[in-house]
Structure 1
Amino acid sequence: MQRTHSHRTVLLNEAVEALQIQPDGHYIDATFGRGGHSRAILARLSPRGRLTVFDKDPEAVAVARALAAQDARVTVRHEGFAALAALPPASADGLLLDLGVSSPQLDDPARGFSFRHDGPLDMRMDPTRGPSAADWLATATVAEMTEVIRDYGEERFAASIAKAIDRRRQERGPVRTTAELAEIVAGAVKTREPGKDPATRTFQAIRIYINAELEELQQALNAALDVLRPGGRLVVISFHSLEDRMVKRFMVGYARPVADRRAPMVEPPPALLAQLSRTMPSADEVAANPRARSAVMRAATRTAAPRTAALAPAATHRRSA
């Protein structure tokens, strides 16, 4: 029997408004999920408009392909959004990135994303590719685990958690389920944030690492500069501070001219982006969907300036562990 899990699209109307849909335009939903944003975009497109959707998750891709079978304007790519770089230059009028994990992924114990449901410790966006979280935890050194949990989870007890995982491996074998990992973390975290499970940061960190989320986000942001036409909109919804800082620095970095220090008398090239807005969910949306509470949406417009690779801001994170 096929599993069904409900999903509320975060900042649905705000994101579509920020894209400023042109009826005959080409738009990209680089994180299809269950298609909430995509369907809203399609509703504003004419019969000549086009929508390209990306997703790693086979279940999301199945939903997208069902939509494409009913609507010839939709093209589906079973890829992560780092594959945006393969699209033709200046081919899109708008690009949406809705980051993080969807409700169907969180609510399905078999996916292993949540400490609230016991299940296999998987955490892969695409469970057909690459090592699972359990595979990595079975072989990672204490130093590697500490670095990942500290850097990607911003967890101050990272070293204690990594040592506790290592002790568990030596005494009882590898950690294989979400409940086992959550129990280990709870025993290693000395103080708890009010209203937050002690395993929250560790699960976030391991998920980000396993899926190379920050590296892929940086690649997608860089690709957006090439894929968007002049005047095209870039809209990004983030759900934790690491993502939002990366998006903010990227937009700020490209929204101002960058002078060449080797040629101080030469006028700097024009900015490649114009920042537009920062939007948070309304109180009503958060009340109806508590998972929206940490969302931040940032939008920018691609200017008419030519792309210059040398101006790219440096990536703020790297997958070194």
Structure 2
Amino acid sequence: MYHIPVLYEASLDGLAIRPDGVYVDCTFGGGGHSRGILAKLNEQGRLFAFDQDADAQRNLPDDERVVFVPQNFRHLQRMLRLHKITQVDGILADLGVSSHQFDEGARGFSTRFAGPLDMRMDRRQASSAVDIIRDYSEQQLHKLFEQFGEVTNSKTLAKQIVQERRNLPYATIEQFKALIGPSVKGNPNKYLAQVFQALRIGVNDEMGALRDMLQQVPAVLKKGGRVAIITFHSIEDRVVKNFFRQGSFEETVDNPFMPVAKEEVFRIVTKKPITASEEELKRNPRSRSAKLRVAERC
């Protein structure tokens, strides 16, 4: 299977789909969530499916209501405008890496396979994980592993990479694992998963793309429309939670002498994030860290 859609029922319920509405699946992947949306739409309904990974296009259903957009969802508003769409009824984003990407050794996402140290979701982009290992300074690497991988000894790891990258090859997963071997602490599988997560987020600028997309949601979403976002680690979840609460990333300074009436952008639908049931966890262990948050445009 290409990808088992995570929190499938909960995310579709969260969108409160209107049969004649216009919807966006920001992360088409295997098309599981998209098929669920299409099943709830009538002939007037439309779905825009975004995915920067060319492999995803193979999963498109033969359905004239679907428009595939082969782009990163950070270009949400611009791409919709190209299709003469200014506002939509709902937006879904499943920020997890697809099972297909993890299970395809040549993509370099997983520590389980021998393959190139790549990790690009969009293979049209120039730089891969190898370029980060080669070009980042010790300080940049330290920050990357600390922020995006929560690696306990990120400073030591960064130093190890900078010292050894001149002497040891690192173009493949096996070579990279050998290069960082002396820095591995605790459970090797967990440690490597954290390191690979940080590299993947860095290669694909996942946090930058998420912020870019979220900032466009208030303008793109109709009043009463809903946005449902599934995250897989605490950094993403925090960004989504704060944006839903504030409606922007702008820092607001409270001035008791000049109170400003703040416009409510979203109504929070999920007071607490929805997580996978025991049944779903048994069926799909990768759903363990998934959190769904839903908000409605005021």
Q: TM-score, normalised by structure 2?
A: 0.91
- What letter matches 1:226 in structure 2? A
CA distance, structure 1, for counterparts of residue 226 and residue 257 of structure 2: 32
- In 1, the alpha carbon distance for the partners of 2:119 and 2:206 equals 12
Give the aligned partner of residue 137 of structure 2. Answer: 141
Q: Aligned partner of 2:277: which letter?
A: S
Q: What does residue 166 of structure 2 align with?
A: 170
What residue number does 1:312 align with?
A: none
Which residue matches 1:201? 194
Q: Deviation of residue 97 (structure 1)?
A: 0.7
Counterpart-to-counterpart distance in 2, 1:289 and 1:100: 13
Q: Which moved more, 1:52-61 or 1:151-160?
A: 151-160
- 1:246 corresponds in structure 2 to 239
2:65 maps to amino acid: R
Structure 2 regions of 5+ residues with no counterpart? none
Report the residue type matching 1:49 in the other structure: G
Structure 1 residue 62, shift from structure 2 partner: 3.2
Q: Which shows bigger deviation, 205-214 or 126-135?
A: 126-135
Q: Percent sequence identity over matched residues?
A: 38
What letter is aligned with 2:75? A
One-letter amino acid of the structure 2 residue matched with residue 231 of structure 1:
G
Counterpart secondary structure, 1:202: helix
Deviations 1:144-177 (A, max 9, x none): 211211111111211221222223322224x111
RMSD over aligned Cα atoms? 2.0
Change in Cα spacing, 1:143 to 1:73, as seen in structure 2 (3 Å) is same
Aligned position for 2:218: 225
Pick which of 113-122 and 182-191 moved more: 182-191
Deviations 1:173-208 (A, max 9, x none): 4x1111222343443023338xx5221111111110
Equivalent in the alignment of 2:68: 76
Per the alignment, in what secondary structure is the counterpart of residue 166 of structure 2? helix
Amino acid at match of 1:245: R
Q: CA deviation at 1:262?
A: 9.0
1:216-275, CA deviations, whole angstroms, 9 ceiling, x for partnerless residues? 1011111111110000001000001110010011112239xx797497355x14311000
Q: Deviation above 3 Å: which 4+ runs of structure 1?
A: 183-186, 258-263
**Which of 272-281 and 183-192 deviates more?**
183-192
SS where residue 171 of structure 1 aligns? coil
Q: 2:44 & 2:293 partners in 1: Cα distance?
A: 28
Tell me the residue number matched to 1:313.
Answer: none
Q: Displacement of 1:136 after TM fit?
A: 2.2
- Check whether the contact 2:30–2:59 (CA below 8 A) recurs between aligned residues: yes
**What code does the residue aligned with 1:264 have?**
M
Instruction: Give the distance between the partners of 1:180 and 1:159, measured in 2 at CA.
Output: 20
* 1:60 match: 56
**Which amino acid is the alignment partner of residue 26 of structure 2?**
A
Inter-partner Cα distance in structure 2 for 1:270 and 1:128: 40
Q: Deviations over 1:278-301 (max 9, x none)?
A: 200001101111110000000000
- Aligned: 1:153 with 2:149: yes
CA distance in 2 between counterparts of 1:265 and 1:243 reads: 31
- Contact 1:259/1:269, CA 8 A, preserved across alignment: no
Match of 1:109 in 2: 105
Query: Does 2:179 align with 1:184?
Result: yes
Any gaps of 5 or more consecutive residues in structure 1? 304-321
Instruction: Please give the alpha-carbon distance, in whole angstroms, between the structure 2 residues aligned to 1:229 and 1:294.
Output: 30
1:271 aligns with 264
* Partner amino acid, structure 2, of 1:301: E
What's the TM-score once normalised by structure 1's chain length? 0.85
CA contact (8 A) 2:275 2:292 kept: yes
| Number of residue pairs matched by the alignment | 289
Instruction: Name which of 207, 213, 231 aligns with 2:206.
Output: 213
CA deviation digits over 1:60-114, x for unaligned, max 9?
Answer: 12323xx2xx211001111101011213475100000100211000000000001
